[in-house]
Amino acid sequence: MVYLFFVLASLLCTQTEALATQLKEKTDFQYLLLAHFWPTTSCVFFRNEGEDCYVSPVVKGWTIHGLWPSIAGTEKPDYCNDSMKFNYNEIKSLSSRLAVNWPSFEMGAPNTSLWEHEWTKHGTCAYSLPILKGELKYFNGTMNLHEKLNITKYLEDSGIVPSNEAMYLPQDIFNAVKKGVGKVPDITCLYEKKTQRHHLEQVWLCYNKQLQPIDCPEVSATKRLSSTLYFESVAEQEAAAPLNSYFQECPKSGKVYYKPLPNSQ
């Protein structure tokens, strides 16, 4: 009995140590990526899945997807501490700002579902940074970054305005955001199955650990950007590697939609 106890105890210790080492490595990151959604394209995503979306009338522009501790060339780290369960009460004081800046668009899903997902997948990884430690700092800090930006305006200043008819070159969209932010961004698009057209979906901006804007390292470092963006077509991506990521690059040739908000008509 006593013997068994020691065996078990030492097993547990070894496991805890291994877990601690693993977690330390798991939570390391190089920079933070602030991902934004264009709500209308989020609706395309849900339509592609045969679902419906809901965009509240308080939503007037680009919204937050999440703030992601990142390592260039990977989608890591993620899910850094499963014991830190999302607790809405901790961020309840931010509710009106969250509703405007960080809504969830999935019809029928609880409106906390995106926050819970972003906290569990990314917020727990940002925890190692004192300025983003814990739910309140993570959500407030992310919204503080977002509220300093106006992506709608950066695009508008370059003549890129939401339209049901006009389509835009990904390169022009990229240049417009780059000019507005003063740093190298990244953009992603989404393919609509029904119309077989691409839509501008996300704008990604990057920050260092002091939360100062930086060029997005991945875009700067890879083939995709010298002075001209290189966008792979979906077919090329599939040929190169099976699409195991949700994110799609914008088409290399051809234009994309940037449609008005569903609640703006």
Supply the residues annotated as catalytic. Answer: 65, 118, 122
Verify binding: residue 264, ligand NAG, rule CB under 6 A.
no
Question: Closest CB to ligand NAG among 72 and 94?
Answer: 94
Question: Closest CB to ligand NAG among 47 and 134?
Answer: 134
3-state secondary structure the chain: CHHHHHHHHHHHHHHHHHHHHHHHHHCCCCEEEEEEECHHHHHHHHHHCCCCECCCCCCCCCEEEEEEEECCCCCCCCCCCCCCCCCHHHHHHHHHHHHHHCCCCECCCCCCHHHHHHHHHHHHHHCCCHHHCCHHHHHHHHHHHHHCCCHHHHHHHCCCCCEEEEEECHHHHHHHHHHHHCCCCEEEEEEECCCCEEEEEEEEEEECCCCCEECCHHHHHCCCECCCECCCCHHHHHHHCCCCCCCECCCCCCCEEECCCHHHC
Verify binding: residue 150, ligand NAG, rule CB under 6 A.
yes
Q: Mask: binding to ligand NAG, 19-58, rule CB under 6 A, as x and -?
A: ----x-----------------------------------
Verify binding: residue 153, ligand NAG, rule CB under 6 A.
yes
Among 48, 144, 164, 228, binds ligand NAG (CB under 6 A): 144
Verify binding: residue 158, ligand NAG, rule CB under 6 A.
no
Verify binding: residue 152, ligand NAG, rule CB under 6 A.
yes
* Contact region with ligand NAG (CB under 6 A), list: 37-45, 79-87, 213-221, 237-245: 79-87
Verify binding: residue 111, ligand NAG, rule CB under 6 A.
yes
* Contact region with ligand NAG (CB under 6 A), list: 9-17, 70-78, 148-156, 207-215: 148-156
* Contact region with ligand NAG (CB under 6 A), list: 6-14, 68-76, 77-85, 173-181: 77-85
Which residues does 57 contact at the CB level (< 8 Å), separation at least 6? 263
Residues that bind ligand NAG (CB under 6 A): 23, 61, 81, 83-84, 93, 95, 99, 111-112, 136, 140, 144, 150, 152-153, 156
